[in-house]
């Protein structure tokens, strides 16, 4: 395991198209392009490997509303994959930190709302006891952490589609640095699951 500042590891996860986009042009909330790949064994196993060692979920407001509006409904759903149900239960039970300047109070259990810079929040979380601090698909949070070189493990699912436009995860001007590949897997439809650790 690579050394990281402050004890706890910050782990990010994002799904990307083959042309490097994390959302469709003009409609960032439309995740239809992800769905054929998100229900594969590879994607489910990849997600499980990320949440199992984590004791804190760090989310942006938009992602929190989407995740916490959907995932709890999976618990007890007829025919639900056990891995999906496992993630849903974890998400309900885990300590959640949601970064928002507009939410006054949390409509979800075990959730803290903070209107502070992402890097400050992560520094405070690193100073506490616990497992990984994981960020699932919250692009604004992940971008801020990458820009501050605060990501210790970066997980990426690459789906074999071109979106032809839309926002990119990796902006120009990110700090130079080296990453080491710790796991790679290929699955149905030519999907790739990649996990990199920051070399410090």
pLDDT in tens, 38-55: 889 999 999 999 999 999
* Cβ(168)–Cβ(18) below 8 Å: no
**What is the distance between the alpha carbons of residues 125 and 130, in angstroms, rounded to a whole number?**
9
* Tokens 């300590």 -> residue: 95
**pTM as predicted:** 0.92
Print burial letters for 6-32: b (CB count within 10 Å at least 16), e (below 16). Answer: eebbbbbbbbbbeeebbbbeeeeeeee
Q: Is 74 helix (H, G, I), strand (E, B) or coil?
A: helix
CA 70 to centroid of chain Cα atoms: 16
Domain locations in the chain as residue ranges: 10-170
pLDDT at residue 1 in the model: 39
Instruction: Specify the CATH architecture of the domain 10-170.
Output: 3-Layer(aba) Sandwich (3.40)
Q: What is the mean pLDDT of residues 174-195?
A: 95
Beta bridge partners of 162: none
| Residues 77-104, mean pLDDT to the nearest whole number | 94
Res 62: pLDDT = 87
Q: What is the mean pLDDT of residues 146-156?
A: 98
């Amino acid at each position: 395991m690579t050394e990281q500042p402050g004890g706890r590891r910050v782990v990010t996860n994002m799904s990307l198209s083959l042309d490097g986009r994390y959302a469709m042009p003009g409609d960032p909330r439309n995740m239809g392009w992800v769905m054929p790949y998100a229900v594969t064994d590879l994607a489910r196993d990849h997600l499980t490997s990320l949440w199992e060692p984590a004791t804190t979920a760090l989310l942006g407001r938009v992602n929190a509303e989407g995740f916490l509006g959907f995932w709890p409904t999976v618990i007890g759903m007829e025919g639900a994959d056990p891995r999906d149900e496992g993630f849903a239960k974890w998400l309900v039970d885990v300590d959640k930190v949601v970064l928002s300047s507009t939410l006054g109070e949390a409509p979800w259990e075990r959730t803290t709302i903070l209107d502070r810079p992402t890097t400050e929040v992560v520094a405070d979380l690193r100073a506490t006891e616990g497992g990984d601090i994981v960020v699932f698909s919250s692009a604004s949070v992940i971008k801020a952490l990458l820009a501050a070189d605060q990501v210790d493990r970066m997980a990426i699912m690459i789906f074999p589609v071109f979106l032809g436009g839309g926002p990119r995860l990796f902006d120009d001007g990110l700090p130079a640095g080296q990453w080491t590949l710790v796991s790679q897997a290929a699955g149905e439809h030519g999907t790739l699951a990649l996990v990199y650790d920051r070399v410090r």
